[in-house]
Amino acid sequence: MFTGIITDIGTVRKIEKRGDTRFEFNTAFDTAKIDLGASIACNGACMTVVEKGEGWFAIEASTESLSLTTLGELVVGARLNLEQSLRMGDELGGHIVSGHVDGVAILTALHPEGDSVRMTFELPDEFGRYVARKGSITLDGVSLTVNEVDDNSFGINVISHTQNNTTLGGRKAGDRFNFEIDMLARYVARMVGKD
């Protein structure tokens, strides 16, 4: 489990395509304190640490993970949002995030609003009903509040702190983002028979 509060911006140091795709990421995390088998959210996707060294760790992404996320689009040198999993007693500053990416959202428009940036996204049609005004959504691992919803598109406001401390700053229309709908929305839909 995660919170959607990004604690490091890592970079891709190596990619090896074999049975599964192996990624190595540079990180500021103290890797001596990361166990093999630990979960780290990589642009919002919960991935398992399979190897590590000083200042880096490796994951292996299956075909399923690559088909539902933007991980397969990463190149050496690319930046990505990282978050280690919650520990008992950690502050829950964002919202409860599983790291199970639902799919890819497209950034369709953005414009400045004061020091913030207003971003509009489009989801695959079947996910629009899970998004609610003032609800939560996770984009590339970042917990965000939904400002408005119109069918399968929604808007968020990204404050300057989030722009500077995640990879959301400097993005452009047409960019693709991993998204995870709010876990509560998923279960409510199931309970009322709409899933």
Residue type, 185: A
Per-residue pLDDT, 87: 80
Contact between 30 and 52 (Cβ < 8 Å): no
Per-residue pLDDT, 109: 98
Per-residue pLDDT, 188: 79
Instruction: Give 68: exposed, middle or buried? Use CB within 10 Å, 0-12, 13-18, 19+.
Output: middle
DSSP helix/strand/coil, 135? coil
> Taking the chain (195 residues) in consecutive chunks of 10 residues, what is each chunk's mean pLDDT?
94 95 98 97 98 98 96 97 86 84 97 96 94 95 96 96 95 97 80 71
What pTM was estimated for this model as a whole?
A: 0.93
Contact between 84 and 27 (Cβ < 8 Å): no
Per-residue pLDDT, 12: 98
Residue type, 153: S
Per-residue pLDDT, 195: 60
For 151-182, the DSSP string reads TTEEEEEE-HHHHHHSTTTT--TT-EEEEEE-
Per-residue pLDDT, 194: 62
Domains of the chain, with CATH numbers?
A: 8-84 (2.40.30.20), 103-191 (2.40.30.20)
